[in-house]
Structure 1
Amino acid sequence: MARRRPATTHGAVIVDKPPGPTSHDVVGMLRRRFGERRIGHAGTLDPSATGVLVIGIGNATRLLRFATASHKSYECEIVFGVETSTLDAAGEPVTTWHMDLDPAEVGAAAAGFIGAISQLPPMVSAVRVGGRRLHEIARSGQTAERAPRDVEVYRFKVEPSDDPLVYRAVVDCSAGTYVRTLGADLGTALGGGAHIRALRRTRSGSFTLSEAGPPTEAELRTPLELVRDLVQILVSDSEAIQARSGVHLVDARYDGSGPWALVDPTGALVAVHERVDGRLRATVLPS
């Protein structure tokens, strides 16, 4: 008697990650919850960080790259006068300064980071160097040569708190921006040092905290959610059959540079089409 294959689950889950578990731990929670091994996430959050974590399940993991190439928003606190080994509150203090801060000067210095900037990935990041992640190298007591990365900061708003050395910050930035590095660099710009704490991602692309839930309760959404910010093209039933077979549909509806999400009359995602070497191709068939 043939063994029945287990049912598969495909879709998206928008998690409000709690403090403590790693992003990989959250993936493990959802694997157990949905009984599906193929699960990935868009944009790692540190164990101490909280907030929006976009998850793809089953075939929808193929769509995660469309959810990662977007801007993100964060809230955190910047603690001036102390630099830590990890640039956040989880690390050990390595250097201290006496800093007498003026709110106007702090705001002006923060405004200097708005726009296109270059950042050096911290040693505790997940960037790979020589096949190893930087945080793995750091845990072994070693360092690695790191190449700077170009990112963009759209907003960096700071305001004082009741503690003269602690400022609340709101950051809107491109994917790949290190907020901990931004906080540390602001401390350096003000003649001292700093680290961040209480980091919370409030937005990832168009996904916000208002639609996120804890790993045990967040709702399963359709795969279309992961490409909801793409231009959508409604196709007929016959066109949907063709597209699911890998046929590259070409007509006047494909305006602009793409990519485009093809949606059938029931509202289900059929495929994602992109221009590759000037030609239209079905680069993702989610089912």
Structure 2
Amino acid sequence: MARRKEPTVHGVAVVDKPAGVTSHDVVAMLRRRLNERRIGHAGTLDPSATGVLVIGVGHATRLLRFITDGHKRYVGEVVLGVETDSLDADGTVTATHEMAPVDLDTVRALIADRFVGDIEQVPPMVSAIKIGGRRLHELARAGVEVERQPRPVTISSFDVIDSRVEDGRQILTVDVACSAGTYVRSLAADLGTALGGGAHLRNLRRTAVEPFTLDDAAPPDECELLPIVDAVRGMPQFTVDGPLAARVAVGSVLPAPPGDGPWAMVTPDRQLLAVYEAHGDGFAKPSVVLPQPS
């Protein structure tokens, strides 16, 4: 069996994903542009959605889970009175409701009562979650609907920032900050149901993948390749050198630094050596040790 070629290009790219392409399409674009096969992304965006998509290149792919697990922020439009099978504008309309315009104070009070904090959410059928070894969107395309168990998610904030009427339908512009694994489509649909009718989501834009924002992002053909250490910019970072750096480089267990972790261990010249996580009482061990240039 041929040995897998070691990556030669390393770093992080923050892409402003355009509409009409998949997250995998963006990965393919960066593979061609950078001439590097080992590339992955942190957190899928639906094809119609736009905004922040964090790409790991080379050794940085080993750090993507720390970004994927972070909080995210979105803006989008909730169309009241129309339900779709995908819960967004890409789907087929399954039901319509005559809904009188809703006062924004009423909507905000309902959201604060039911949709902020730790909640449970049933994932949509049109999603990448696997059940029985098959992705839900594959089952949905085959006309099969399966029972999905609610999943815990955290909604840090859910704000209605604008309302207007378009073609007789009330459109709510929302700004949502949430944990990884949250489906904003489901929030929109559940809000419509709670208001006595139905709804779907459109024009979703991800404005942040903690700690990256749209200010860091650029289109796939323009985005900058940032150093690997930028992948851990949201972590506590500790500078190590000399004998301690040598111990980190070989994956030694160390006394835990202050705080909860994970912790990034960097050299004085800002090279990332490893990421450590808690290990037992008062200790930490590396979950990722990165190769260093010889």
TM-score grouping bracket, smaller chain normalisation: over 0.9
Matching of residues 226-237 of structure 1 within 5 Å:
226-237=231-242
> Are 2:229 and 1:224 aligned?
yes
From the superposition, tell whether residues 107 and 101 of structure 1 become closer, same or farther in structure 2 (CA, over 3 Å).
farther
Query: Aligned residue for 1:246?
Result: 251
> Are 2:252 and 1:257 aligned?
no
Q: Which runs of 5+ in 1 are unaligned?
A: none
TM value normalised by structure 2 = 0.91
Matching of residues 58-207 of structure 1 within 5 Å:
58-103=58-103, 104-112=105-113, 113-158=115-160, 159-163=162-166, 165-207=170-212
Can you list the C-alpha shifts for 1:145-179, whole angstroms capped at 9, x where unaligned?
A: 21111111111111312435111111111111110
1:160 partner amino acid? S
Query: Aligned residue for 2:285?
Result: 281
| 1:86 shift after superposition | 0.5
Contact 1:237 1:265 in 2 (8 A): no
Q: How many residues align?
A: 281
Can you list the C-alpha shifts for 1:238-276, whole angstroms capped at 9, x where unaligned?
A: 4323322223343xx712321110010111101111123
TM value normalised by structure 1 = 0.94
% identity of equivalent residues:
53
From the superposition, tell whether residues 236 and 155 of structure 1 become closer, same or farther in structure 2 (CA, over 3 Å).
same
Paired with 1:123 and 1:231, the residues of 2 have a C-alpha distance of 38
Contact 2:17 2:26 in 1 (8 A): yes
From the superposition, tell whether residues 81 and 6 of structure 1 become closer, same or farther in structure 2 (CA, over 3 Å).
same
Paired with 1:137 and 1:47, the residues of 2 have a C-alpha distance of 18
Paired with 2:231 and 2:6, the residues of 1 have a C-alpha distance of 24
Can you list the C-alpha shifts for 1:57-104, whole angstroms capped at 9, x where unaligned?
A: 111111011111211110001101100010000001000000002223
| 1:7 shift after superposition | 6.5
Can you list the C-alpha shifts for 1:27-78, whole angstroms capped at 9, x where unaligned?
A: 1111111111111111110000000011111111110111112111100011
For the aligned residues, what is the CA RMSD? 1.5
Matching of residues 6-85 of structure 1 within 5 Å:
8-85=8-85
